[in-house]
Copies of this chain bind each other. A is one copy, B any other.
Amino acid sequence: MEFFEVINKRRSVRNYTSKPVPKEVISKALEAATLAPNSSNTQTWDFYWVKTAEKKKALIKACLSQRAARTAQELIVIVADPTLWKRSNEALLQYTDEIKAPPSMKIYYKKLIPFIYSAGILNVLAPLKWMIANIGGLFRPMPRGPNTSKDIQTVCIKSAALAAENFALAISAQGFATCMMEGFDECRVLKILKTSWSARIVMVISVGEEAPDGTMGPRFRLPTNLVVHEI
């Protein structure tokens, strides 16, 4: 499907038909998700495709039994986990060798990434990081964070959101529909996934074929000139 057709077609669908979604459609969209840009290419994301009936039932309940979950054919959970920089770090170091990257890039992955992704137990390092950034920043441009563990989480959540958008668009491109759900009980979803305590649930995405009354109504957006500022 043509790109802008996909952009226009993608709507949040809250009621699906009983038509099954082929496995390949989900797999292709998950692959598209992993191709999203992400912070320092650390790929601190995980994608859970919830297939077993029991887990699916529990997940629907954890999504407050909303219709977009109840009527969905497939449910995907997108997770961000700040500790996952460790999973990609060695491979990224190898990659810098393969592409004959400048030494600064190797140092970046060896020294800077571990520093960026740590706040210490109970954020003990955060004040130090904050001071380095903000005292240095008085004299020259400096990134002001991430400092606290919440800041680091936000970086990872942002990257995972980019992947979520790729996923949703890729489903639309294949003729099916999605709903990105943020109305869920995060504690219960974490339990269903059996993830590490450091994981954050970014989005639960339901997938299916749009039912005739699938969307709430025509799309509503603020006028572009209210949100776009040319300066």
* B231 contacts A49, C-beta separation under 8 Å: yes
**Is A21 interfacial (CB-CB < 8 Å)?**
no
Binary B-proximity of A10-53 (CB < 8 A = 1, otherwise 0): 10100000000000000010111011110101010111111110
Residues from chain B with Cβ under 8 Å of A35 in the complex: 7-8, 10, 219, 221
Distance of A62 Cα from B142 Cα, bound (Å): 8
- Residues of chain A from 172 to 218 with CB closer than 8 A to chain B in the complex: 173, 180, 182-188, 193, 202-203, 216-218
Residues from chain B with Cβ under 8 Å of A188 in the complex: 137, 141
Number of chain A residues close to chain B: CB under 8 A: 90
* A217 contacts B99, C-beta separation under 8 Å: yes
* A216 contacts B7, C-beta separation under 8 Å: no
A109 CB to nearest B CB, Å? 12
* B101 contacts A187, C-beta separation under 8 Å: no
Task: Specify the chain B residue showing the minimal Cβ separation from A182.
Answer: B39
As for how many copies of this chain the complex holds, the number is 2
Query: A180 contacts which of B7, B37, B64, B203 (Cβ < 8 Å)?
Result: B37
Binary B-proximity of A115-151 (CB < 8 A = 1, otherwise 0): 0000000000000000000000100011111000010
Known contacts A35-B10, A143-B183; is A220 also within 8 Å of B4 by CB? Answer: no
* B10 contacts A220, C-beta separation under 8 Å: no
Please give the residue numbers on chain A whose beta carbons come within 8 Å of chain B beta carbons, in ascending order: 1-4, 6-8, 10, 12, 28, 30-32, 34-37, 39, 41, 43, 45-52, 55, 61-65, 87-88, 91-92, 95, 98-99, 101, 105, 137, 141-145, 150, 153-155, 157-159, 161-162, 164-166, 168-170, 173, 180, 182-188, 193, 202-203, 216-222, 224, 226-231
Q: Would you give 19 A-B contacts (Cβ < 8 Å), ordered by A? A: A1-B3, A2-B2, A3-B3, A3-B173, A4-B28, A7-B166, A8-B35, A10-B35, A30-B224, A39-B182, A49-B230, A64-B141, A87-B222, A92-B220, A143-B182, A143-B185, A143-B186, A153-B154, A158-B158
